């Protein structure tokens, strides 16, 4: 089976949802699928240099190949004429295309090319069909959907959602779709090497006996920091001792990032907080493993890859019920789930901070659940089954 994975960018700047293609592709390759990723060299919209990669030529890695194309002429929208021209020439060499993102011109027009070339395609919305997300630039999105995305959805072989809740709430613009619910995967958390859990605490000046509360995600209004910071301030006022680590950035909205940093620096949290910026590699692994609690009170999250990563590290999570794997967290007792309310979040964090034995138990359950259900090999098996069912269905027709 020869499959295309098409994604506007795989830069770290755009977070886990885009990067998941780099986890799925080698897992598919290990099970015999020939995978080619088509993407651009986009690396942010605020003056960052493009990715330093060879263009227009296949690069072989981890059993699959990836082709980068120059992001032009609309850098802000991660567009690439070169990618679309390549796809138009080569589409018939593949059995299926898996397109990641809606409301992104390169993926939108890639679906159009696939349709014209009779190449079956799956669309993965990345949360863009969530009613809350559709409120952003509402009128522009309504027009875009009517002209472009509605026909793409109508002709898609399937729509790939990463949770049952995402599928349940997503808008289809009056189109009937075949839905696939396949979660995202995480890599098993290796024991931190050069930067271990004790070392990361030492570097950040956090004593071993003080609970570490970790937020590790994009610093974005939807992530619920306006709920989290007051909750942490209230816990400090009660006399609870902890250290808060704010790990993340947002090159797309630097003004909001600066607003949050300033808010921390002018609050009682300033002497109990470390702001690390964006973290990756050994430092990321060490922080996830060193944390006593991972917290993400998002207003909406179609999956919550950062939550799954924390679970895989054995860290219990405190999340809102708008993180769409909240039901899995509840049922597996991998942490605590609350509402979008400061008092509720404060109460859950208080319970978690005051009960180290329960934190430990839930952390072990989180790790067990994540390794069984979110391993890339398990996700690849589900994905290949879906690919085969789609292709068999099309053959029958």
How many angstroms separate the Cα of 121 from the Cα of each of 156, 172, 296?
A: 6, 16, 33
- Whether residues 348 and 210 share a domain: the answer is yes
Q: Where are the alpha helices (DSSP H) in the chain?
A: 16-30, 81-90, 105-116, 131-134, 138-144, 150-155, 164-169, 197-204, 225-237, 254-265, 281-290, 305-312, 326-332, 342-354, 356-373, 376-396
- Whether residues 203 and 349 share a domain: the answer is yes
Q: Is residue 56 part of a domain?
A: yes
Place of tokens 């809606």: 102
Q: Is residue 8 part of a domain?
A: yes
- Whether residues 303 and 217 share a domain: the answer is yes
Check whether 276 has a pLDDT greater than 90: yes
pLDDT at residue 395, rounded to an integer: 67
- Whether residues 225 and 369 share a domain: the answer is yes
Tell me the pLDDT band of 19, cut-offs 50, 70 and 90: confident
Q: What's the number of CA atoms in the CB half-sphere (13 Å) around residue 313?
A: 27
Task: State pTM to two decimals.
Answer: 0.86
Is residue 257 within 8 Å of residue 249, measured between CB atoms? yes
Phi and psi at residue 178, to the nearest 5°: -90, 120
pLDDT at residue 45, rounded to an integer: 67
Q: Is residue 233 part of a domain?
A: yes
pLDDT at residue 194, rounded to an integer: 57
Interval 256-272: pLDDT, tens: 999 999 999 999 999 99
- Whether residues 150 and 222 share a domain: the answer is no
pLDDT at residue 379, rounded to an integer: 94
pLDDT at residue 47, rounded to an integer: 67
Q: Mean pLDDT in the chain?
A: 92
Check whether 15 has a pLDDT greater than 80: no
- Residue 66 pairs in a beta bridge with 37, 59
- Whether residues 213 and 316 share a domain: the answer is yes
pLDDT at residue 78, rounded to an integer: 81
Interval 93-151: pLDDT, tens: 999 999 999 999 999 999 999 999 999 999 999 988 988 888 888 889 899 989 999 99
- Whether residues 102 and 247 share a domain: the answer is no
| Other Cβ atoms closer than 10 A to 268 | 13
Residue span of the structural domain in which 232 resides: 197-373
Interval 36-73: pLDDT, tens: 999 999 887 666 788 899 999 999 999 999 999 998 76
pLDDT at residue 354, rounded to an integer: 97
Burial of 293 (0-12, 13-18, 19+ CB in 10 A): buried
Interval 187-244: pLDDT, tens: 877 665 556 788 889 888 888 889 999 999 999 999 999 999 999 999 999 999 999 9
How many angstroms separate the Cα of 69 from the Cα of each of 44, 46, 112, 232, 255?
A: 15, 19, 18, 44, 30
CA-based nearest residue to 244, from 206, 197, 193: 206
Q: Is residue 190 part of a domain?
A: no
- Whether residues 45 and 62 share a domain: the answer is yes
Q: Is residue 137 part of a domain?
A: yes
CA-based nearest residue to 93, from 73, 117, 72: 117
Measured distance CA(146)–CA(172) in Å, rounded: 11
Is residue 232 within 8 Å of residue 349, measured between CB atoms? yes
pLDDT at residue 20, rounded to an integer: 87
Q: Is residue 192 part of a domain?
A: no
- Whether residues 22 and 159 share a domain: the answer is yes
Q: In the sheet that 59-61 helps form, which strands lie side by side, from edge to edge?
A: 59-61, 64-69, 34-40, 2-6, 96-100, 121-124, 158-161, 179-181
Q: Is residue 191 part of a domain?
A: no
- Which CATH number does the domain housing residue 26 bear? 3.40.50.2000
Q: Is residue 242 part of a domain?
A: yes
Measured distance CA(69)–CA(80) in Å, rounded: 7
Interval 332-366: pLDDT, tens: 999 999 999 999 999 999 999 999 999 999 999 99
Domains identified in the chain, total number: 2
- Whether residues 220 and 344 share a domain: the answer is yes
Interval 161-196: pLDDT, tens: 999 999 999 999 999 999 999 999 988 776 655 567
- Whether residues 241 and 140 share a domain: the answer is no
| DSSP string covering 360-374 | HHHHHHHHHHHHHHS
- Whether residues 307 and 269 share a domain: the answer is yes
Is residue 274 within 8 Å of residue 243, measured between CB atoms? yes
Measured distance CA(150)–CA(172) in Å, rounded: 8
């Amino acid at each position: 089976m020869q499959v295309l994975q098409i994604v506007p960018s795989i830069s770290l700047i755009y977070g886990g949802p885009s990067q998941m293609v780099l986890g799925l592709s080698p897992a598919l390759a290990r099970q015999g699928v020939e995978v080619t990723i088509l993407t651009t060299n986009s690396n942010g919209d605020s003056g960052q240099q493009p990715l330093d990669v060879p263009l227009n030529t296949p690069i072989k890695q981890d059993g699959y190949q990836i082709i980068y194309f120059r992001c032009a002429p609309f850098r802000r929208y991660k567009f690439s004429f070169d990618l679309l021209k390549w796809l138009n020439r080569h589409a018939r060499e593949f059995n299926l295309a898996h397109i990641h993102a809606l409301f992104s011109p390169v993926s939108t027009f890639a679906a159009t090319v696939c349709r014209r070339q009779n190449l079956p395609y799956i669309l993965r919305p990345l949360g863009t069909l969530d009613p809350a997300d559709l409120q952003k630039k509402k009128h522009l999105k309504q027009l875009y959907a009517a002209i472009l995305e509605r026909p793409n959805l109508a002709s898609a072989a399937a729509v790939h959602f990463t949770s049952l809740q995402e599928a349940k709430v997503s808008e289809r613009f009056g189109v009937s779709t075949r839905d696939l619910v396949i979660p995202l995967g995480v890599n098993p958390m290796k024991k931190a090497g050069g930067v271990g859990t004790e070392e990361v605490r030492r570097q950040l000046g956090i004593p071993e006996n003080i609970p570490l509360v970790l937020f590790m995600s994009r610093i974005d209004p939807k992530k619920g920091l306006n709920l989290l910071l007051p909750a942490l301030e209230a816990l400090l006022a009660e006399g609870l001792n902890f250290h808060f680590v704010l790990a993340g950035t947002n090159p797309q909205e630097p003004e909001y990032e600066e607003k949050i940093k300033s808010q921390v620096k002018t609050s009682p949290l300033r002497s109990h907080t470390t702001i690390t910026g964006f973290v990756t590699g050994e430092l990321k692994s060490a922080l996830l493993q060193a944390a006593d609690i991972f917290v993400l009170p998002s207003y909406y999250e179609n999956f919550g890859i950062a939550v799954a990563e924390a679970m895989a590290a054995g860290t219990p999570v405190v999340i809102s019920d708008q993180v769409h794997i909240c039901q899995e967290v509840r049922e597996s007792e991998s942490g605590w789930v609350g509402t979008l309310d400061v008092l509720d979040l404060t109460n859950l964090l208080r319970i978690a901070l005051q009960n180290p034995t329960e934190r430990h138990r839930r952390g072990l359950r989180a790790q067990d659940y994540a390794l069984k259900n979110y391993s890339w090999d398990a996700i690849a098996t589900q994905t290949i089954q879906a690919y085969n069912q789609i292709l068999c269905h099309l053959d029958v027709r």
